[in-house]
Amino acid sequence: MTKRKTARRVFIWALLLGLFFAGCETANGKNPGGVPDAENEFAAEAMTSRDSLSYFTEEGLAVGWNLGNALDAYSNGVSSETVWGNPRITQEIFNGVRAAGYTIARIPVTWMGHIGGEPDYHIDEDFLRRVAEVVGYAHDAGLKVIINIHHDGSVEKNGDVTRDNGWLSLNTARRSEEGMRQVTAQFERVWTQIAKYFKNYGDYLMFEAFNELHDGNWGWGDEAVQRPQYDILNKWTQVFVDAVRGVGGNNRSRFLIIPGYCAVPKHTTAPYFVLPNDNGNEANKLVVAVHYYDPYEFCIAGTRHDWGSAADKSAVNAVFKSLSDRFIAGKLTPVIIGESGVVRHEGYEQTRLEYFSYVYGKARDFGLVPMYWDNGAFSSGEKFGLFDRRTGKPHSPESQTVIETMVRACGGAD
């Protein structure tokens, strides 16, 4: 054998070994750029073998609460916990929420501003650590917990002008193959890193794929035109499930929450909504999510003050029945109403109570789990606030009555 051939073989073997070890490093926690993903040294906790519907039923998950406008708040493309006026989160708020009778807390999280560039999309470890700290507050209070990707998918439309405020953009993905590739790659990387950081947390922690993804029309666009977008969401929810399961640890059987297009019930019960495959689990570990703020004029805009006609109640029944029939009866998949609520109507407090009593009561009848959207606002804007974020106590006697009404409607304590 000549020296040249020997040197060549040595080079080839060195190259192959280098590729092998590089592949091992990627599989063991390094991202495509070679920088290690942040990992939490949290000790592995117990996971249930129960399916999602049994878990929700047996754990008494009947009514929930959102920590809105906190970890999901952002300004100029950067997530910032207090930028929308709420105080820094402490243990007290979750203690108060649990004492009031809520059993599950949704903690919306906006990640943008804490994510590096392509191809790493490296999430800042300090931000991951803060999210974990807040999750710990909720768990220590005795609550089940949901975290998600929230305003990273925010989009707004003014007249004919549509603007994406975040990177998780349906508009970018539907316009070109390169756009689809780029957004999907970032989505997969972000969920892979979140899953790695929380891989040892117990079954009380659930992941929700995203919030209200849409093209700027809030789900009211032409369905034929939007059909490619529904297909993209189906692909992304499969990417979400595969990314989380692929991390291993407790993520192999963690409960994963799948929203429909813009979290609108009619799009979620439609045939074009497809639950992702989760073939690695014999028991169903998926949960479906919708939002319910109907009618808009009463619940959000506050321009209508009457509610409770036969037509109003019939609309509630029809929507909730369609969700129950599609998922709970047919697939044994629990459904959360991940956001719901009514802004404060000064002078019409009784009507607001009647809404909660009926709507949350009907949710319970149909096996749905309603979750109230509390954004901490009391004096301006969309006044959904109920709890004082500093003390964890109801903000006022009126807030106390609203809380008691919705918890009681869902079968909670008087």
Q: Which of 116, 38, 125, 113 is nearest to 81 (CA)?
A: 113
What pLDDT does 298 receive? Answer: 98
Average pLDDT over residues 61-84: 98
From 97-101, 111-115, 156-160, the region with the lowest mean pLDDT: 156-160
What pLDDT does 12 receive? Answer: 38
Share of the chain above pLDDT 70, in %: 92
What would the two tokens of residue 346 be? 């000064």
Q: Answer yes or no: is pLDDT of 29 > 60.
A: no
Please name the amino acid found at residue 112.
M
Q: Which of 200, 321, 186, 335 is nearest to 254 (CA)?
A: 200
Three-class SS of residue 160?
A: coil
Q: What is the mean pLDDT of the chain?
A: 92
What is the residue extent of each domain of the chain?
47-409
Those residues whose C-beta lies under 8 Å from the C-beta of residue 394, and which sit 6 or more positions away, are 96, 100, 386, 387, 388, 400, 403
Q: Answer yes or no: is pLDDT of 16 > 90.
A: no
Average pLDDT over residues 137-141: 98
Question: In angstroms, rounded to a whole number, what is the distance separating the alpha carbons of residues 334 and 32?
Answer: 36
Whole-model pTM?
0.92
| 339 flagged as catalytic | yes
Q: Answer yes or no: is pLDDT of 366 > 70.
A: yes
414: confidence class by pLDDT, cuts 50, 70, 90 = low
Pairing of strands 144-148, 104-107: parallel
Listed as own residue / partner, the contacts of 343-352 with beta carbons closer than 8 Å and 24 or more positions apart are 343/299, 343/300, 343/301, 343/302, 343/382, 343/383, 343/384, 344/302, 344/378, 344/383, 344/384, 344/398, 345/302, 345/305, 347/305, 348/305, 349/398, 349/401, 351/305, 351/306, 351/307, 351/308, 352/402
CA distances from 198 to 204, 225, 296 (A): 12, 38, 36
Average pLDDT over residues 349-371: 98
Q: Decide: 243 and 198 in contact? Cβ < 8 Å.
A: no
> How many helices (H) and strands (E) in the chain?
13, 12
Choose between 341 and 412: higher pLDDT: 341
**For 374-392, what is each residue's pLDDT tens digit?**
999 998 889 999 999 999 9
Average pLDDT over residues 109-134: 97
From 14-23, 159-168, 178-187, 289-298, the region with the lowest mean pLDDT: 14-23
What pLDDT does 412 receive? Answer: 84
What pLDDT does 151 receive? Answer: 98
Question: In angstroms, rounded to a whole number, what is the distance separating the alpha carbons of residues 358 and 248?
Answer: 42
Question: In angstroms, rounded to a whole number, what is the distance separating the alpha carbons of residues 402 and 383?
Answer: 13
CA 162 remoteness from chain centre = 23
What pLDDT does 225 receive? Answer: 84
| Sequence-ordered alpha helix ranges (H) in 214-289 | 223-247, 265-268
Question: In angstroms, rounded to a whole number, what is the distance separating the alpha carbons of residues 384 and 292?
Answer: 14
Class in CATH terms, 47-409: alpha beta
Share of the chain above pLDDT 90, in %: 86
Average pLDDT over residues 149-153: 98
Q: Answer yes or no: is pLDDT of 47 > 80.
A: yes
Q: Looking at 339, 349, 354, 398, which residue is catalytic?
A: 339
Question: In angstroms, rounded to a whole number, what is the distance separating the alpha carbons of residues 59 and 54?
Answer: 8
What pLDDT does 9 receive? Answer: 45
What pLDDT does 413 receive? Answer: 67
Q: Answer yes or no: is pLDDT of 98 > 60.
A: yes
Q: Which of 236, 221, 203 is nearest to 44 (CA)?
A: 203
Pairing of strands 161-164, 155-158: antiparallel
Q: Answer yes or no: is pLDDT of 299 > 90.
A: yes
Please name the amino acid found at residue 335.
V
30: confidence class by pLDDT, cuts 50, 70, 90 = low
34: confidence class by pLDDT, cuts 50, 70, 90 = confident
Those residues whose C-beta lies under 8 Å from the C-beta of residue 126, and which sit 6 or more positions away, are none
| 92 flagged as catalytic | no
Average pLDDT over residues 97-117: 98
277: confidence class by pLDDT, cuts 50, 70, 90 = very high
18: confidence class by pLDDT, cuts 50, 70, 90 = very low
What pLDDT does 209 receive? Answer: 98
Q: Looking at 212, 349, 382, 404, which residue is catalytic?
A: 212
Those residues whose C-beta lies under 8 Å from the C-beta of residue 27, and which sit 6 or more positions away, are none
What pLDDT does 380 receive? Answer: 87
